[in-house]
Structure 1
Amino acid sequence: MKRFFIALIVFALPLQPAQAWSQYGHETVAKIAHANISDAARAQLRRLLRAAPLIGTPKCPLQNIEDASVWADCIRRDQVRWGYSSSWHYQNVDICKPFDLQSACAGGNCVSAQIDRNFALLKDKALPTHVRLEALAFLVHFVGDLHQPLHAGDRRDRGGNDVRANYGVIPGQNLHSIWDGALAERAISAAPRIVRRFSEQEAAEKAKGTSRDWSEENWALSRDIAYQRAVDGDPCGPKAEQPVTIDEADVAATRAALRLQIERSGLRLARLLEQALI
Structure 2
Amino acid sequence: MKRFATLLAVSGLALGAAPGAAWGPTGHRIVAQIAQDNVSGQTRARIEQILGHEQLPEGATWPDEQRSSPDVFLNKTTYPWHFVTLAQPNEAAEDLVHPPEGDAVTAIERFTRTLRDPAASQGDKAVALRFLVHIIGDLHQPLHVGKDGDRGGNDVKVLWLDFPVQKNLHWVWDEGMIEKQGLSFTEYADRLEARMTPQQAIDWWTIDPNAWMDESISIRNRLYPEPSDKYGDGTVENPFKLEYHYIYDWNPTMEQRLQQAGIRTAAYLDWVFAGPSTN
Scaled by the length of structure 2, the TM-score of the pair is: 0.76
The alpha carbon displacement at 1:75 in A equals: 0.8
Equivalents in 1 of 2:189, 2:103: separation in Å?
A: 33
* AA at the equivalent of 2:244: E
Change (3 A) 1:252 1:276: same
SS in structure 2 opposite 1:92?
A: strand
Listed one character per residue, the Cα deviations across residues 184-221 of structure 1 (whole Å, up to 9, x for unaligned) are: 34579579811459665432211225111211210121
How far does residue 99 in structure 1 lie from its aligned partner after superposition?
Answer: 3.0
How large is the RMSD of aligned CA atoms in angstroms? 2.7
Q: Distance in 2 between matches of 1:184 and 1:176?
A: 12
Q: Are 2:41 and 1:39 equivalent residues in the alignment?
A: yes
Corresponding residue of 1:217: 215
Offset of 1:112 from its aligned partner? 2.3
Q: For structure 1, which segment, 121-130 or 23-32, has the greater mean C-alpha deviation from structure 2 after superposition?
A: 121-130
C-alpha distance in 2, partners of 1:191/1:88? 25
Q: Give the one of 258, 262, 265 matched to 2:261.
A: 265
| SS of corresponding position for 1:153 | strand
Query: Residues 80 and 206 from structure 1, CA distance in 2 versus in 1: closer, same or farther, beyond 3 angstroms?
Result: same
Distance in 2 of aligned mates of 1:166 and 1:183: 13
More helix by share: 1
Q: State which drifts further: 191-200 or 202-211.
A: 191-200
Structure 1: 4+ residue segments shifted above 4 A: 100-104, 186-192, 196-200
Where in structure 1 are there 5+ consecutive unaligned residues? 1-19, 51-61, 234-239
Tell me the SS of whatever aligns to 1:194: helix
- Summarize the Cα distance change of 1:252–1:232 in structure 2 as closer, same or farther, 3 Å threshold: farther
The SS at the match of 1:169 is coil
Q: Look up the match of 1:207.
A: 205
- Read off the aligned partner of 1:30 and give its amino acid letter: A
Give the fraction of aligned pairs with identical amino acids, expressed as a percent: 27
Give the aligned partner of residue 104 of structure 2.
Answer: 111
| Distance in 2 (alpha carbons) for counterparts of 1:167 and 1:197 | 27
User: Who is 1:247 aligned against?
Assistant: 243
Against the structure 1 CA distance between its residues 192 and 127, is the aligned structure 2 distance closer, same or farther, given a 3 Å change threshold? closer
Task: Report which structure shows greater RCO (CA 8 Å, sep ≥6).
Answer: 2
> Aligned AA for 1:29?
V
> Could you tell me which residue of structure 2 aligns to residue 57 of structure 1?
none
Q: Distance in 1 between matches of 2:43 and 2:122?
A: 15
Distance 1:274 1:185 in 2: 30
Q: Is the 8 A contact 1:152 1:218 kept in 2?
A: yes
Question: Partner letter of residue 57 of structure 2?
Answer: E
Q: C-alpha displacement at 1:181, in angstroms?
A: 0.6
Q: Is the 8 A contact 1:165 1:244 kept in 2?
A: yes
Q: 2:138 aligns with which of 142, 145, 159?
A: 145
Is 1:147–1:218's contact at 8 Å kept on the other side of the alignment? yes
Deviation for aligned residue 1:32: 0.1
Residues 49 and 192 of structure 1: is their aligned pair in 2 closer, same or farther, counting only changes over 3 Å?
Answer: closer
Amino acid of the structure 2 residue aligned with 1:263: Q
Q: Per the alignment, do residues 27 and 242 of structure 1 end up closer, same or farther by CA in structure 2, a change over 3 Å counting?
A: same
Measure how far apart 1:97 and its partner are: 4.2
String of CA shifts for 1:56-88, please: whole Å, max 9, x gaps: xxxxxx822112100110111125422111111
TM-score, reference length from structure 1: 0.76
Q: 2:78 aligns with which of 61, 65, 85?
A: 85
1:45–1:277 CA contact under 8 A, matched in 2: no
Residues in 1 aligned to 2:103 and 2:154: alpha-carbon distance in whole angstroms: 17
Kindly indicate whether residue 24 of structure 2 is the aligned counterpart of residue 22 of structure 1. yes
Which runs of 5 or more residues in structure 2 are unaligned?
Answer: 1-21, 229-235, 275-279
Larger mean CA deviation between 196-205 and 115-124 belongs to 196-205
Map 1:108-257 to 2 at 5 A: 109-170=102-163, 171-186=165-180, 193-195=191-193, 201-224=199-222, 226-227=223-224, 230-231=225-226, 242-257=238-253
How many residues are matched?
Answer: 239
